[in-house]
Amino acid sequence: MATKLIVASNRGPVSWVQDDDGGWTPKRGAGGLIVALGGALQQRPGTWVSVALEEGDREMAAAHPDEAFEAETGQGTFTLRLVDAGDRYAAYYNEVANRLLWFTLHQLWAEPYEPAGRAWTEAWEDYQAVNDLVAEAVIAEAEGVDAEIHLQDYHLLTAAPTIRRALPDAKILLYVHTPWVHPTYFRRLPDVMVEGILEGLGACDLVGISAPEWAASLRDCMVELGGGVADFDRIRTTGTSTLVRDFVLGIDAAGLGQVARSDAAKAEREDLLARADGRTLLVRADRTDLSKNILRGLHAFERVLEDDPDLADQVHFHLLLNPSRQGVPEYREYLERCVAEADGIRERWGEACLELETTENFPRVVAALQSYDVLLTNPVLDGTNLVAKEGPALNDNDGVLVLSRTAGAATTMGDALLVNPFDVEQQADALRRALTMPEAERSRRALSLKAAAAQGSPADWLAAQRAALAEALRS
User: Which spans of this chain sit near ligand F6P (rule: CB under 6 A)?
Assistant: 11, 31-33, 153, 177-178, 324-325, 383
Instruction: State the minimum distance, in angstroms, from the CB of residue 113 to ligand F6P.
Output: 23
Residue with Cβ nearer ligand F6P (93 or 124): 93
In the bound complex, what is the minimum distance in angstroms from residue 102's beta carbon to ligand F6P? 8
The residue (of 11 and 269) whose beta carbon lies closer to ligand F6P is 11
Q: Where are the beta strands (DSSP E) in 266-391?
A: 280-287, 315-322, 354-358, 374-377
In the complex with ligand F6P, the residue whose CB is nearer, 164 or 389, is: 389
Please state, in angstroms and rounded to a whole number, the distance separating the CA atoms of residues 93 and 287.
Answer: 17
Q: Which helix H or strand E contains 463, and what residues bound it? A: helix 458-474
Burial 119-129 (b: 16+ CB within 10 A, else e): ebeebbebbbe
Q: Nearest approach, Cβ of 28 to ligand F6P (angstroms)?
A: 13
- The answer to whether 255 and 393 have CB atoms below 8 angstroms apart is no
Which one, 99 or 279, has the nearer CB to ligand F6P? 99
Between CA 475 and CA 473 the distance in angstroms is 6
Q: Is 291 helix (H, G, I), strand (E, B) or coil?
A: helix
To ligand F6P, the closest distance from the beta carbon of 51 in angstroms equals 10
Least distance to ligand F6P, CB of residue 206, Å: 18
CA distances from 373 to 58, 303, 349, 446 (A): 43, 19, 20, 11
Cβ neighbours of residue 467 closer than 8 Å, sequence gap 6 or more? none
* CA gap 163, 47 in Å, rounded: 16
**Residue 102 near residue 108, CB atoms below 8 Å:** yes
Going by C-alpha positions, the residue among 246, 224, 247 that lies closest to residue 237 is 224
- For ligand F6P, give the closer residue by CB, 219 or 325: 325
Distance CA 14, CA 458 (A): 18
Select 31 or 39, whichever has its Cβ closest to ligand F6P.
Answer: 31
Taking the C-alpha atoms of residue 100 and residue 96, their distance in angstroms, rounded to an integer, is 5
Nearest distance in Å: CB 325, ligand F6P:
5
Nearer to ligand F6P, 323 or 350 (CB): 323
Nearer to ligand F6P by Cβ, of 102 and 124: the residue is 102
HSE-CB of 113 using CA atoms within 13 angstroms: 3
Report, in Å, the least distance between residue 324 CB and ligand F6P: 5
Q: State which residue, 9 or 162, has the beta carbon closest to ligand F6P.
A: 9
Q: Smallest distance from the beta carbon of 296 to ligand F6P, in angstroms?
A: 19
Q: How far apart are CB 144 and ligand F6P at their closest, in Å?
A: 31
The dihedral built from the CA positions of residue 85, 208, 381 and 460, taken in this order, carries a sign that is: negative
Q: Which is nearer to ligand F6P, 126 or 398 (CB)?
A: 126
Nearest-CA neighbor of 198 among 180, 162, 222? 222
Shortest Å, Cβ 473 to ligand F6P: 26
CA distance 28 to 41: 13
